[in-house]
Structure 1
Amino acid sequence: MTDPLSGSFGRESVTATERERRIRSLFQAVAGRYDLMNDIMSMGIHRLWKHSMAGAVAARSGQTIIDLAGGTGDIARLLAPSGARVVVCDPSTAMMAVGMGRCPASVEFVEGSAEAMPFADDSAHALTIAFGLRNTTSLHAALAEIHRVLKPGGRFWCLEFSRPWAIIRPGYDAWSRFAIPRLGAWVAGEPAAYDYLVESIRRFPAQGELAAAMRDAGFTEVEWRNYSGGIACLHQGTKA
């Protein structure tokens, strides 16, 4: 199966190594205003989606939960009060520096990529990723690595932009194509970064395609829940 994310950066074809370097540079540049941009771009709705995701995870004391690509700590802060061991794993030290200043001391931060996490096999009860899977160099490699670190019976939760309903798609496409890069220039001073982020959303698999990729990676009980007419979607699966 062709990997929809491998080797692309915007509309330019690049090697996986170069794509990873550029993505790290992008998040280095926008780290300080990343959450503010998310608030503006989504009119704050991304926080409701994340609260819903954290509620679905239902973390509890004694569990180990990895929040992958969780740099600024939005998900970790919601999971930490459960008493679970929450570990943020992110390739961007700049993003994690922001998260460390916002999360309780119990939250751990570890540098690592989705394709090569520094964790043992079968080591996590759950793994979450919010708006980070589309920034991997290879979707299939990332899913395989997520499957590896989960314990048997462990749950994977992915919150990501997806394919909106047809009735709202034209308006959403216009907003993302024209408004978001301009907002990126205004708030974060990085229009090129937000050109890439918009393009990464367009290239990301639709709901059914991502579900199929999860099954191919070995996940069972795969299902999804649309948010805001499919603008975002929460996928989940179990390591058998």
Structure 2
Amino acid sequence: MPSTLPPPEEKSQFVQTMFGEIAERYDLANHLLSGGLDFLWRRRAARLIRAWQPARILDLATGSGDLAITLGRACPGALVVGADFCRPMLSVARRKGLEHLVTADGLQLPFPEASFDAVTIAFGLRNMASWPKALAEMRRILRPGGHVLILDFSVPLAPLRWVYRPYLHHVLPRVAALLTGKKAAYDYLGDSIEQFPQGPVMCVLLEDAGFSDPEHQPLSGGIVSLYTAKR
């Protein structure tokens, strides 16, 4: 089966258009296709962030704002800023009550160096045109001693992998097509997950970007991975 991944030079525009087309049905598809596990993943991430006691948090690739909302509840004294380059997704986030939203590309963030105590990105780094450049930008805007948290899909080990891959590449896109009318977006999802670095490989990318103490936690049997590191 041919890959649905766009050439690197076209990826940003492809992703921006794709998410703009599914923005209004994005949350419904996420909740149903994950079986509600996405709520648990975000709460797990928020508990880690709360333990760091950040005063200023940037939720990068915030999309419809679900993680930013969860972070705001977990860290009521913190300023949570959501950034995304897809305006239709930010419109959904704004309707949910998020106030601090910025239209921004993750490869060129409009924030000074050392602006935030923590940077989070959930299911967004995978869609960036350059993972090293995105990680470098996250490090730039973090204060020394600040933390980054990355939450994204991964491919679990066998035997779960044997069930997961048919679901990811065949069942999920068809169900998503009924929910959103955009099967191609979820064909892309499966291919992008297969290509995305995970586990020790992602930890090496974090170290190469200048982060220290990278850690990897597989969640839900490894269908999702949570990474943390420190500037």
Band of TM-score, shorter chain: over 0.9
Q: Does 1:176 align with 2:151?
A: no
Which of 139, 142, 147 is the matching residue for 2:139?
147
Q: 1:203 aligns with which of 183, 195, 198?
A: 195
Question: RMSD of aligned C-alpha atoms?
Answer: 1.6
In structure 2, what is the Cα distance between the partners aligned to 1:72 and 1:206? Answer: 24
2:155–2:193 Cα contact (<8 Å) kept: no
Matched residues in 2 for 1:120 and 1:29: separation? Answer: 31
Cα distance in 1, alignment partners of residues 80 and 196 from structure 2? 27
One-letter code of the match for 1:174?
P
- List runs of 5+ in structure 2 lacking aligned partners: none
Q: Name the SS for the 2:105 alignment partner.
A: coil
Look up the match of 1:219.
211
Contact 1:156–1:238 (8 Å) recurs in 2:
yes
SS at match of 1:158: strand
Q: Which is worse superposed, 149-158 or 74-83? A: 74-83
> 5+ unaligned residues in a row in structure 1: which ranges?
1-8
Could you tell me the TM-score, scaled by structure 2's length?
0.94
One-letter code aligned to 1:34: Y
Q: Hey, what does 2:7 align to over in structure 1?
A: 14
In the alignment, is the contact (CA less than 8 A) between 2:198 and 2:225 conserved in 1? Answer: no
Report if the CA contact (8 A) 1:61-1:85 is conserved: no
Alpha-carbon shift at residue 75 of structure 1 (Å):
1.1
Offset at residue 178 of structure 1 (A): 0.4
Q: Partners of 1:29 and 1:51 in 2: how far apart? A: 27
1:32-76 deviations in Å (ceiling 9; x for gaps)? 111111111110101101111011100787711000001211111
Deviates more, 1:57-66 or 1:198-207: 57-66
Aligned match of 1:161: 153
Structure 1 partner of 2:92: 98
Q: What is the TM-score normalised by the length of structure 1?
A: 0.91
Counterparts of 2:212 and 2:135 in 1: how far apart (Å)? Answer: 13
Per the TM alignment, residue 208 of structure 1 is displaced from its structure 2 partner at its CA by 0.9
Contact kept, 8 Å, 1:132 with 1:160, in 2: the verdict is: yes
Structure 2 distance, partners of 1:13, 1:27, is 14
Q: Is residue 105 of structure 2 the alignment partner of residue 113 of structure 1?
A: yes
C-alpha distance in structure 1 between counterparts of 2:149 and 2:113, whole Å: 18
CA distance 1:206–1:112, change in 2 (3 Å): same
Q: Secondary structure at the match of 2:97?
A: coil
Distance 2:203 2:64 in 1: 27
In structure 1, the residue corresponding to 2:64 is in which secondary structure?
Answer: coil
Q: CA deviation at 1:163?
A: 2.8
Query: 1:134 Cα shift?
Result: 0.2
Cα gap change, 1:127 to 1:10, in 2 (>3 Å): farther
Amino acid paired to 1:232: V
**By how many angstroms is 1:103 displaced?**
3.0
Specify the alignment match of 1:3 in structure 2.
none
Deviates more, 1:80-89 or 1:131-140: 80-89
Q: Structure 2 counterpart of 1:145, which letter?
A: E
Task: For 2:26, give the aligned amino acid.
Answer: Y
Structure 1 partner of 2:128: 136
**1:80 is matched with which residue: 72, 77, 83?**
72
